[in-house]
């Protein structure tokens, strides 16, 4: 039984191969979509734009040859900058008739478009900043406590003058980083502007992440500022309680002596409520949750 099944399978495969051989010996039409590609010659000129992203050709030929083109390596329609700036045009049919991969046994029946236009410009260089394009998603209870550092923070870009003139920065590749709960140090690629080249293809991204907590500071003296000579601004009470939110390590190192809440004499002059509200300037990535009491009674004394 097994021998019979093997015989049937072999016969079927042979029949299929024979049928394919006969069929592919006939002539067919096949359409190919060929991407346009810029060839970098490393010279003083570059292409800043072209009219078509791809060209389409219709070939007639024996099935085996057309199948070989379809299954073979990707072909491209190449644009070469040359050595002169300006607006250029290349005849698509003529270009394909000179390619080696369209053999004499194949007939080029149609091309679309008939011509590709492109612009050649002088190459230039410009150093621009690098901006991180990252969507950060933190584990609940955690957050970023330092700026995002990009190393290096700038890059030398080489490309056509018109493109560089409007280029002020480039970004990293758009990325999503999730479930962050500890400091991050990672390499990430750069989003290279079209028709340009850059020195390095990636950068190092670093920032600190900590558990976010609240911390209370009691009996913090409120300072009075900008009080004129022969004037005195008395507060009641003179001390407040402050609650801050931030990274556990950052707040753990912070002492009450680093906090300097204050009121100004101009606040008192402009006040209509009888209470002055202390001002507290906190570092970046620290949030002021509460100053209590938020309103202080005051007296202005003259001498």
| Whole-prediction pTM | 0.71
Quote the pLDDT of residue 19: 38
Average pLDDT, the chain: 88
Average pLDDT over residues 30-53: 88
**Which pair of tokens denotes residue 126?**
């410009």
Higher pLDDT, 159 or 7: 159
- C-alpha to C-alpha distance for 287 and 243, rounded to whole angstroms: 9
Residue 31, strand partner residues = 58
3-state secondary structure of 209: strand
- What pLDDT is recorded for position 4? 47
Confidence check: pLDDT of 9 > 50: no
- The pLDDT score that the predictor gives to residue 135 is 95
Q: What band does 25 get if pLDDT is binned at 50, 70 and 90?
A: low
pLDDT in tens, 226-277: 999 989 999 999 999 999 999 999 999 999 999 999 999 999 999 999 999 9
Closest by CA position to 151, among listed 198, 87, 204:
204
CB–CB of 33/56 below 8 Å?
Answer: yes
Q: Could you tell me if 280 and 242 are in contact, meaning their C-beta atoms sit under 8 angstroms apart? A: yes
Helix ranges, the chain (H): 2-23, 63-71, 92-97, 161-165, 248-253, 265-270
More confident residue, 113 or 105: 113
Sign of the CA dihedral with 244 first, then 249, 252, and 254 last: negative
Q: What is the maximum span of the chain, computed from C-alpha positions, in angstroms?
A: 121
What would the pLDDT profile of 109-132 be if each residue is shown by its tens digit?
899 999 999 999 998 999 999 999
Confidence of residue 172 (pLDDT cuts 50, 70, 90): very high
- What's the average model confidence in pLDDT over 91-97? 89
Q: How far apart are CA 82 and CA 253, in angstroms?
A: 63
Question: How far is C-alpha 44 from the chain's CA centre?
Answer: 28
Mean local confidence (pLDDT), 125-145: 95
Return phi, psi of residue 265, to 5°.
Answer: -65, -35
């Amino acid at each position: 039984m097994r021998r019979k099944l093997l015989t049937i399978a072999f016969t079927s495969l042979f029949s299929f191969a024979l049928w394919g051989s006969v069929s592919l010996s006939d002539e067919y039409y096949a359409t190919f979509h060929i991407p346009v590609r810029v060839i970098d010659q490393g010279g003083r000129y570059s292409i800043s734009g072209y009219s078509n992203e791809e060209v389409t050709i219709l070939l007639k030929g024996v099935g085996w040859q057309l199948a070989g083109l379809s299954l073979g390596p990707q072909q491209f329609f190449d644009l070469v900058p040359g050595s002169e700036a300006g607006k250029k045009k290349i005849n698509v049919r003529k270009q394909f008739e000179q390619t080696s991969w369209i053999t004499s046994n194949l007939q080029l029946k149609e091309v679309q478009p008939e011509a590709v236009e492109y612009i050649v410009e002088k190459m230039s260089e410009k150093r621009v900043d690098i901006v991180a394009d990252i969507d950060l998603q933190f584990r609940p209870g955690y957050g970023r406590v330092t700026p995002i550092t990009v190393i290096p923070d700038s890059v030398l870009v080489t490309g056509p003058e018109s493109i560089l003139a409007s280029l002020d920065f480039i970004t990293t590749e758009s990325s999503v980083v999730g479930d962050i709960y500890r400091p991050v140090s990672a390499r990430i690629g750069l989003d290279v502007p079209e028709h340009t080249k850059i020195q390095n293809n990636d950068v190092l991204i670093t920032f600190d992440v900590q558990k976010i907590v609240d911390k209370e500071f009691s009996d913090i003296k409120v300072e009075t500022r900008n009080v004129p000579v022969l004037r005195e601004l008395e507060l009641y009470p003179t001390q407040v309680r402050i609650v801050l939110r931030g990274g556990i390590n950052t707040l753990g190192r912070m002492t009450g002596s680093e906090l300097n809440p204050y009121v100004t004499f101009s606040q008192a002059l402009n006040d209509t409520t009888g209470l002055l509200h202390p001002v507290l300037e906190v570092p970046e990535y620290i949030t002021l949750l509460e100053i209590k009491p938020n309103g202080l009674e005051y007296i202005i004394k003259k001498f």
